[in-house]
């Protein structure tokens, strides 16, 4: 299946700021995923493009967007309140663009965590589930579950796509977190993958195979959530 072209748009955040976004609307799409980038790379990064294109091929529209700091060329992530406002603006824009489609929100690493924090504080309008592409449970080398405390306040389905070599989410900590969330949470482990879903050559797999597995799992989970 060919990939639909991305449309570059702008989203108003508050009354005096805007961020860029890329919209992909495949034919006969059945859901839309509003997703944010990780802390160190913006929406134009190859990994973000791969996810958007792959979901488009699976019938899922995407709205990927910048946080304000990335839009301004800064390397320092926005404070949570500012990031949450951007998440809400992007989700609202997705709802306007796709008023009849179920909405999923989330993102890569930092973007996924900012989305879950926003949802925990006050439900995102129209969002049926959250999908995390590498949830950053803790900083590398500093294992902890503190970043997951707010997830108890998220009352909609959540999908965790996680590599088994992810240095930002030790499985001995992540698995109990997901278990405690009960039926709301689904954990799909990508064998041998790191936080960026990269695998070593010695694994016998390649990054494309891992991404295909992740996106197939994502699409199947979306079908369960929206059915």
Residue 222 has pLDDT above 70, yes or no: yes
Res 53 pLDDT > 60: yes
**Number of folded domains that form the chain:** 1
**Has residue 108 been placed in a domain?**
yes
Is pLDDT at 6 greater than 80 in this prediction?
yes
Residue 2 confidence class, pLDDT cut points 50, 70, 90:
low
Name 22's bridge partners: 8, 64
pLDDT higher than 60, residue 176? yes
**Can you give the CATH number for the domain in which 78 is found?**
3.40.50.1820
Q: Dig out the tokens for 124 from the structure.
A: 């995102």
- Rounded to two decimals, what is the model's pTM? 0.95
Domain-embedded: residue 89: yes
Assign 193 a pLDDT band (cuts: 50, 70, 90).
Answer: very high
Give a yes or no: residue 1 inside a domain. Answer: no
Q: What is the pLDDT of residue 15?
A: 81
2 occurs within a structural domain: no
Quote the mean pLDDT of the chain: 95
- Rg of the Cα trace of the chain? 16
The answer to whether residue 1 scores a pLDDT higher than 90 is no
173 closest CA partner among 207, 209, 139, 219: 139
Encode 112-136: b = buried (16+ Cβ within 10 Å), e = exposed.
bbbbbbbbbeeebebbbbbbbbbbb
**What sign has the CA pseudo-torsion 189, 190, 192, 195?**
negative
* 3-state SS track over the chain: CCCCCCEEEEEEECCCEEEEEEEECCCCCCEEEEEECCCCCCCCCHHHHHHHHHHHHCCEEEEEECCHHHHCCCCCCCCHHHHHHHHHHHHHHHHHHCCCCCEEEEEECHHHHHHHHHHHHCCCCCEEEEEEECCCCCCCCCCCCHHHHHHHHCCCCEEEEEECCCCCCCHHHHHHHHHHCHHHEEEEEECCCCCCCCCCHHHCCCHHHHHHHHHHHHHHHHHHHHC
172-186: average pLDDT? 97
The pLDDT of residue 192 is 95
* pLDDT of 4 above 80: no
Give the mean pLDDT of 146-162. 97
Contacts 24+ apart (CB under 8 A), 72-76: 75/40
What's the pLDDT score for residue 5? 85
Q: Is residue 17 part of a domain?
A: yes
Residue 204 predicted with pLDDT over 90: no
Q: Which domain holds residue 124?
A: 7-226
What is the rounded average pLDDT of the residues 35-64? 95
Q: Is the pLDDT score of 3 beyond 80?
A: no
Residue 97 lies inside a defined structural domain of this protein: yes
pLDDT tens per residue across span 69-103? 999 999 999 999 999 999 999 999 999 999 999 99
The percentage of residues in the chain with a pLDDT greater than 70, rounded to a whole number, is: 99
């Amino acid at each position: 299946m060919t990939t639909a072209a991305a449309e570059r748009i702008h989203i108003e955040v508050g009354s005096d700021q805007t961020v860029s976004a890329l919209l992909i609307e495949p034919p006969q799409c059945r859901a839309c995923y509003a997703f944010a980038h990780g802390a160190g790379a913006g929406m134009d990064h190859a990994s973000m493009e791969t996810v958007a294109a792959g979901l488009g091929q699976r019938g899922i529209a995407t709205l990927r967007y910048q946080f304000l700091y990335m839009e301004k060329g800064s390397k320092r992530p926005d404070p949570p309140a500012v990031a949450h406002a951007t998440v809400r603006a992007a989700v609202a824009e997705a709802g306007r663009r796709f008023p009849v489609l179920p909405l999923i929100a989330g993102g890569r690493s930092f973007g996924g965590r900012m989305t879950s924090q926003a949802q925990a504080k006050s439900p995102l309008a129209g969002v049926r589930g959250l999908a995390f592409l590498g949830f950053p449970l803790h900083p590398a080398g500093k294992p902890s579950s503190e970043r997951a405390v707010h997830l108890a306040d998220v009352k909609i389905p959540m999908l965790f796509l996680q590599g088994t070599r992810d240095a930002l989410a030790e499985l001995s900590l992540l698995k109990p977190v997901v278990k405690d969330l009960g039926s709301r949470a689904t954990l799909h482990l990508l064998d041998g993958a790191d936080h960026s879903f990269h695998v070593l050559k010695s694994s016998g797999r390649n990054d494309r195979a891992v991404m295909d597995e992740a996106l197939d799992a994502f699409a199947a989970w979306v079908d369960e959530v929206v059915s």
